[in-house]
Copies of this chain bind each other. A is one copy, B any other.
Amino acid sequence: MRVGVLLSGEGTSLENLCERIDAGEVPAEVVVVIASKESAGGLERARRRGIPAVAVPRKRHPDVGEFNDRLHVELEKHGAELVALLGFLSPFQIRGYPGRVLNVHPALIPAFSGRGFYGSRVHEAVLAQGCRVSGATVHFADDEYDNGPIILQEAVPVREDDDVASLAARVQEAERRLVPEAVRLYAEGRLVVEGRRVRILERPASPADGPR
């Protein structure tokens, strides 16, 4: 499974996905990393691994359509079959990838999701509301923020003395488990979308299962 990764930050989630792929746990290959900022640390991580790394700076493409034109040119050029949004803070238009875009959100959707809830703002809101539980979500993305069907979620506790940094770190630990698992399940053909629900098949779909 050829995966295109889009990111805006340091790429720790990319690094972790690559490690799980290298360990043989995820039948996938990251074929291109695209960042919405030239300064994104994820680009350097990709280059160190020999993965094509491209900056498509959002600020140089103020028109969201043109910005997405550039993203999709790169995805297609590298033959991405699946798109993973790993901390991508700009709007991504699905276009030719319906049902083939995974997004990770640092909260338990539907809580603290949608427009305005990204990055540390999510954790600030969780702490401000005094929640005892937060978590991470991997879902299929569509053209609305944080809207598509949920694939995996993991809850994490919010501690009495948490600040944004400590809560973010705990949520990122959960993300490091969820993202490779979701890519694996997708690559094995085990995710079946039924309306807003995602069913996970017990074992990989195969022709012997008959028509589906």
Contacts and interface: CB of A to CB of B under 8 A. Distances in A.
Nearest to A129: B196
Contact of A108 (B108, B160, B197, B200): B108
Contact of A199 (B110, B127, B160, B197): B160
Contacts of A111: 108, 110-111
A150 B128 contact: no
A198 B111 CA distance: 19
B110 A133 contact: no
A5 B195 CA distance: 40
Interface magnitude class on chain A: 20 to 34
A131 interface: yes
Contacts of A196: 128-130
A185 interface: no
Interface in A108-145: 108-112, 127-133, 135, 137
Nearest to A158: B153
Stoichiometry, copies per complex? 2
B132 A153 contact: yes
Contacts of A108: 108, 111, 131, 133, 155
Interface string A140-171: 00000000011011110000100000000000
Q: Which of A109, A149, A152 has the most CB of B within 10 A?
A: A109
A153 B127 CA distance: 14
Given A108-B111, A111-B110, A200-B160, A155 B135 contact: yes
Contact of A133 (B132, B155, B198): B155
24 contacts: A108-B108, A108-B131, A108-B133, A108-B155, A109-B131, A110-B111, A110-B112, A111-B111, A128-B197, A129-B197, A130-B150, A130-B195, A130-B197, A130-B198, A131-B153, A132-B137, A132-B152, A132-B154, A133-B153, A133-B155, A135-B155, A155-B155, A160-B199, A160-B200
